[in-house]
Amino acid sequence: MLATALVSGLGLGSIYGLIALGFTLTFAVSGTVNFAQGSSVMLGAVICHALAVGMHWPMIAAAPAALLGCAIWGFIVERIAVRPFVTRGTNSWLMATVALGIVLDNLVMVLFGKEPRALPSVLADEPWVIGKIGIFPLQVLIPAVGLGLAFLVHLGMHRTELGLRLRAAVDHPDAARLMSIDVTMLIAVTYAAAAFLAGIGGILIAPLYNVAYDMGTLFGIKAFAVAILGGLTNPWGVVMAGLAYGLVEACATTWLGSSSTQIVTFTAVIAALALAPSGLFGLRTKVRV
């Protein structure tokens, strides 16, 4: 049972971590997040389905096109649901991003339909069998992609010029502006990157689940819990929190039964935050008096 719980938990946990990375990116740079990150998950899966199944594109073309669509969506979210409110100094972006996500979900419902559809993949058809344990190749790919992207985000933030500009914008936004760094554009780029990451999550999970206009809601909520748990500003912490969340979820179902899954998981989140208010891997802010 332990092996089954590990496989199930690590797979789902990686998806939560991947989506939560988007929260980390935008929060680190702008102090804001897209609360409709789940809708970006859905958008990636839906566009990919429309191109790969509806228009018979090869997956190698459909997936990048879907991710481009997600990135454009990220720009749109920042431009119309975040920037106008941040520049006026209000926190109304909280509600605006939720509302925009609802608009997108309903728009997709009209265009795509209400029925869930399948996104077949050769990576989720024939499992590898080891003893009593079976695993789809896709379930191995998902954690690898999750950890790989966390590594790339970390590398990008610390080893590239864009990353340096981002960190400069985070630490000293006014000084960055004086140095001709376009902070506004950088924030827009992080929103596009966040939606891009969520889109990857959607495309990866779709063959194991299904594609539906409302598929992102639950993923979005869990990913936000993971982002808070991971410390919000720490990419590695968020990915680790995602894996931990997935494992607790799977272990609760395996040993205590499916009725207890949500009770145990969310109680664990509350308990963890009570013990570590900045998140399990968050940086404690020192306040000098």
Partner 1 sequence: MPTNLTRRQALALPAGIALGSLVGRPATAAEPVKIGLVAALSGPSAKSGEGITRGLTIAIDEINARGGVLGGRMLELVRRDDESNPAKGQTAARELIDKEGAAILFGGIDSPVSQAIVPLVNAAHVPFMGVWAAATNITRNGANPNYVFRVSAVDVLVDRALIKHAMATFGAKTPGLILVNNGWGESNFAGLTAAAAAAGIKLAGSEKFDDKDVDMTPQLQRLRDAGADTLILVGNAAPGAQVVKSLQRSAWTVPVVSHWGISGGRFPELAGSWAGKVHFVQTYSFFGPQNDVGKRVLAALMAKYPDIKGPGDVTPPVGVANAYDAMQLTALALAKAGATDGDKLREGFLGVEGYQGLIKNFTKPFTDENHDALNENDYVMVRYNGDQIEPITG
Residues that bind partner 1 (CB under 8 A): 1, 4-5, 7-8, 11-12, 113-118, 120, 124-125, 127, 129, 132-136, 139, 205, 208-210, 212, 218, 250, 253-254, 257-259
Nearest to 22 by CA among 31, 34, 13: 34
| Residue placing its CB nearer to partner 1 in the complex, 235 or 246 | 246
Q: How far is the CB of 267 from partner 1 (least distance, A)?
A: 18
Q: Which residues contact 4 (CB under 8 A, 6 or more apart)?
A: 133, 250, 254
Are 45 and 205 within 8 A, CB to CB? yes
For the chain, the straight-line distance linking the first and the last C-alpha, in angstroms and rounded, comes to: 52
Q: How far is the CB of 113 from partner 1 (least distance, A)?
A: 8
Nearest to 93 by CA among 183, 169, 187, 172: 187
Are 27 and 237 within 8 A, CB to CB? no
Q: How far is the CB of 37 from partner 1 (least distance, A)?
A: 17
Q: How far is the CB of 8 from partner 1 (least distance, A)?
A: 5
Element housing 133 (H / E): strand 133-135
Q: How far apart are CA 65 and CA 53, in angstroms?
A: 14
Q: How far is the CB of 175 from partner 1 (least distance, A)?
A: 45
| Residue placing its CB nearer to partner 1 in the complex, 153 or 200 | 200
Backbone angles phi, psi at 136, to 5 degrees: -75, 145
Q: How far apart are CA 30 and CA 38, in angstroms?
A: 19
| Residue placing its CB nearer to partner 1 in the complex, 5 or 240 | 5
Are 81 and 62 within 8 A, CB to CB? no
Q: How far is the CB of 32 from partner 1 (least distance, A)?
A: 28
Q: How far is the CB of 103 from partner 1 (least distance, A)?
A: 19
| Residue placing its CB nearer to partner 1 in the complex, 127 or 148 | 127
Q: How far apart are CA 45 and CA 57, in angstroms?
A: 14
| Residue placing its CB nearer to partner 1 in the complex, 152 or 218 | 218
| Residue placing its CB nearer to partner 1 in the complex, 258 or 285 | 258
Q: How far apart are CA 193 and CA 39, in angstroms?
A: 14
